[in-house]
Amino acid sequence: MDFEQMQLVWDREKSRTLYALDLEALHASVRKRGRRIAAGVEAMEIGMIAISIFLAGFLVSEPLLRGDDPQQYASAAVLLCVAAYLLVGRRRRRERERGFASNLRGDLERAIAQVDYHLQRVRTVHWWFFLPSFLTIVIGQAFEDEIESTWLWLPVLAAFPFGLWVARQELRCHLSRKRELESLRAKLVDEP
Q: What is the pLDDT of residues 98-128, one digit of tens each?
A: 999 888 889 989 999 999 998 898 888 888 8
Confidence at residue 11, expressed as pLDDT on a 0 to 100 scale: 44
The residues that bridge with 8 in the sheet, in sequence order, are 19
Q: What does the pLDDT read at residue 2?
A: 47
pLDDT at 166: 82
CA pair distance 60, 54, nearest whole angstrom: 10
Q: What is the pLDDT of residue 191?
A: 60
Residue 153, pLDDT score: 64
What average pLDDT does the chain have?
A: 79
Quick check: 1 pLDDT over 50? no
Q: Give alpha helix (H) positions in the chain.
A: 23-66, 72-98, 104-123, 125, 131-142, 150-190
Segment 127-183, tens digit of pLDDT: 888 888 888 877 777 776 565 555 566 677 777 788 888 888 888 888 888 888 888
Higher pLDDT, 44 or 12: 44
Ramachandran angles phi, psi of 133, nearest 5°:
-65, -40
| Amino acid found at 36 | R
Contact 76, 140 (CB under 8 A): no
Say if residue 60's pLDDT is above 90: no
Per-position DSSP letters for 101-122, written without gaps between them? -SSHHHHHHHHHHHHHHHHHHH
Helices 104-123, 23-66: crossing angle, 10 deg rounding: 30
